[in-house]
Amino acid sequence: MKKQIYLYILCFIFLLQSCERREIFEYKYEKNPQYSWGYAEFWGSQYAHYGLENNVLSMHAFTDSLSLTNDGYLTGFGQYLVLNDIFVSPSDTIFPAGTYEVADTVAIFTIAPGEVYDEEGVKYDNVGAYIYYIEKNEAFSIRKYIVAGSMQVSFPNGIPRFDCNFILDDDTELKGRFKTNELIVYDKSVTLQSGMQKEKLNQANPFVIKQFVNKQHYKRKYKYTSQ
């Protein structure tokens, strides 16, 4: 009898434990990364064949835990920000100060939102603005699209500074700052004919930057200086 009572007690305890509310595991991604290095690209009037004369810039920013190998492979862990289409006026070749809004338009001072673009059944998943979270646990590495928000460009003491305040496609916030004493802007307009597609990350290995390393015709560059 005592043995039965003891078993009943054990079963009751086990039942209570199984009914306890357990917290759902949620992986925490960095919401306010500080980018320590990067570069920009000037594409000129990339979309002139659509009747758009505004110039196009793109920017790539990396946290200090990421680096490039001699072969152009991105190694380490951290955050990699990509802003593919940033629109400025036809008279601008570098970033004028101001607030750039993420918007589905081609007006000046706008950044194209990230999206998966479908063209006649062919899907392009590297369009617009997004961030790569490259985590130590590969299962949590992910790309998230930037769908709203803004970026403030300013020049305190003549130093280029980019302050981000974005909304991602999962409704989370992405802030972050990129401040650099010397922003290198590569001139891609001299090698890109109007209407040609920009070079993208190698999709077989999404962390390979093909156009950044050992390309002699990309040597021309601007060193950013404020007015």
For 74-100, the pLDDT digits (tens) are 888 999 999 999 999 999 888 999 999
What are 171-200's pLDDT values in tens digits?
Answer: 999 999 999 888 888 888 865 554 455 544
CB-CB contact of 104 with 117 (8 Å): no
- Domains of the chain: total: 1
What are 31-69's pLDDT values in tens digits?
Answer: 999 999 999 999 988 888 888 889 999 999 999 889 888
Does residue 151 register a pLDDT over 50? Answer: yes
39 lies in some domain: yes
1 lies in some domain: no
CB-CB contact of 127 with 117 (8 Å): yes
Provide mean pLDDT across the span 209-222. Answer: 32
Q: Of 139 and 213, which is predicted with more confidence?
A: 139
What are 5-18's pLDDT values in tens digits?
Answer: 555 555 555 555 55
Q: How many CA atoms lie within 13 A of 33 on its CB side?
A: 24
Does residue 219 register a pLDDT over 90? Answer: no
- Sign of the Cα torsion 106, 108, 113, 116 reads positive
Q: What is the pLDDT of residue 79?
A: 94
Q: How far, rounded to the nearest angstrom, does the alpha carbon of residue 106 sit from its chain's CA centroid?
A: 19
38 lies in some domain: yes
Q: What is the pLDDT of residue 126?
A: 77
123 lies in some domain: yes
Residue 131: pLDDT band with limits 50, 70, 90: very high
- Sign of the Cα torsion 97, 98, 101, 104 reads negative
22 lies in some domain: no
12 lies in some domain: no
Residue 138: pLDDT band with limits 50, 70, 90: confident
182 lies in some domain: yes
Predicted model pTM = 0.75
10 lies in some domain: no
| Domain housing 195 | 27-223
Q: Give buried/exposed letters for 201-212 (b at 16+ CB in 10 A, else e).
A: beeeebbbbebb
Strands (E), 18-114: 34-44, 55-63, 66-68, 74-76, 78-88, 98-102, 110-111
